[in-house]
Structure 1
């Protein structure tokens, strides 16, 4: 069985949620082996120590590796009070991990509840990535004036990436060019840029692998019947719960409690509650 390579991005504010995510993966996949690669946004030594501790506490955690990117590359990246510049770092995954042919990118506001080996083994059928449709069902490709055979727009919080094909098609350069040339189109930041370049180049995953808050709360605006059938299946058996949006399980004030916040607290340190509303993605 191959080692599953997982990539994430975090700053000090999100170290605890990231630890909770990785613990949930390791505990719910005891027979799989994992190596984690973390784009570190100014992490202090204590942050890195806490993350490295996972290799001691869990036998199936092979390594914790920290990656860095030159911030100057993202001078034109669109950010706001919730989306920080380091959200864009993952665009360089293929460049920084030339020895790998496949990775699973995961946002740090996720929790794993089951076996992700089938996700890792997914045949991408020649596509560059596999992802789940964004639960907002937003017509972003049309709004960005991107021509595509399929109008679907994916959520970038979970992406199974064929790094070999990504390199062959020079996706990094294409995404960065879009970011630098069309900042006015980045309403949803790097997710918009990724969708613009990867339109028609992504494989449609079942929403159980990225169970977004809108699906959990049934807040979709105009779901088509087939999409709603899949959404209901995901509600019954989510594998990766995505606490997308402002309602995070560790936030105690000013937001509506998340319906599945208890899943987060099964894995998170109880004494390290986070109250920031800044997010990585």
Structure 2
């Protein structure tokens, strides 16, 4: 199973409640995401008691990741959630002490020196927010543009955001050709950074 296609919060995301102490809600966008439509209604999204609004990755359940999270109890039928576009209730996060829980989970996983940093953050993120995920409607985000050749143009054009998770980023030569134009539409041509970094 290609776990690199499963994007969840990494270590830096767990600094959000401390970095933004005066905010109660934030919308987090990954750096490989394009916004195509208005996201303002996410500010009024009622997530009940949940902490994160996220798209679910129905292709993978926690049961299929048993090898990475075997030491912990979990609902094997729960779907994996994805970063990319997330609505985060920082006040509830602080109240529940999620950053501290995440740190404890990472410390437990540190014992296994063969586990990479990426695979340590995957189970720790999944467990820290277990039962605290509000599933966003599919129309908010289309993921997989960095690895999946089979996404229809209809699904791409109707999504509010496009997530190029995977290794084939649209600014690289190995990016998937059919999806590159959606990214280039938003590129700032002639900008010094783009020119110096040979981004085309």
* TM-score when normalising by structure 2: 0.75
1:166 CA drift (Å): 0.2
**Any residues of structure 2 matched to 1:190-269 within 5 Å, and which?**
190-213=121-144, 217-218=149-150, 234-235=155-156, 237-252=158-173, 255-269=174-188
1:198 CA drift (Å): 0.8
Higher relative contact order (CA 8 A, sep 6+): 2
1:128 CA drift (Å): 1.1
1:275–1:176 Cα change, 3 Å: farther
1:141–1:128 Cα change, 3 Å: farther
Number of equivalences: 177
- Please report the RMSD computed on the Cα atoms of aligned residues, expressed in angstroms: 2.9
1:152–1:135 Cα change, 3 Å: closer
1:208 CA drift (Å): 2.8
Instruction: State whether structure 2 residue 85 is matched by structure 1 residue 158.
Output: yes
**Any residues of structure 2 matched to 1:1-281 within 5 Å, and which?**
87-134=10-57, 136-137=59-60, 139=62, 142-143=66-67, 144-145=69-70, 146-149=72-75, 150-183=77-110, 184=112, 187-213=118-144, 217-218=149-150, 234-235=155-156, 237-252=158-173, 255-271=174-190, 272=194, 274=197
- Work out whether residues 141 and 147 of structure 1, in 8 Å CA contact, stay in contact via their aligned partners in 2: no
* TM-score when normalising by structure 1: 0.55
Separation of aligned partners in 2, 1:119 and 1:216? 27
Separation of aligned partners in 2, 1:100 and 1:242? 25
1:181 CA drift (Å): 1.7
Query: Equivalent residue of 1:244, what SS?
Result: coil
- Work out whether residues 248 and 258 of structure 1, in 8 Å CA contact, stay in contact via their aligned partners in 2: no
1:97 CA drift (Å): 1.2
1:120 CA drift (Å): 2.9
Deviations 1:226-271 (A, max 9, x none): xxxxx9984451111001111111112xx25243221211222234
Greater shift, 265-274 or 198-207, is seen at 265-274
Deviations 1:60-109 (A, max 9, x none): xxxxxxxxxxxxxxxxxxxxxxxxxxx52121101221111001111100
- Work out whether residues 251 and 275 of structure 1, in 8 Å CA contact, stay in contact via their aligned partners in 2: no
1:192 CA drift (Å): 3.0
Separation of aligned partners in 2, 1:177 and 1:275? 42
Query: Equivalent residue of 2:18, what SS?
Result: helix
Deviations 1:124-169 (A, max 9, x none): 1211111111365254553313433452111122221110110000
1:119 CA drift (Å): 2.6
1:246–1:161 Cα change, 3 Å: same
Query: Equivalent residue of 2:34, what SS?
Result: strand
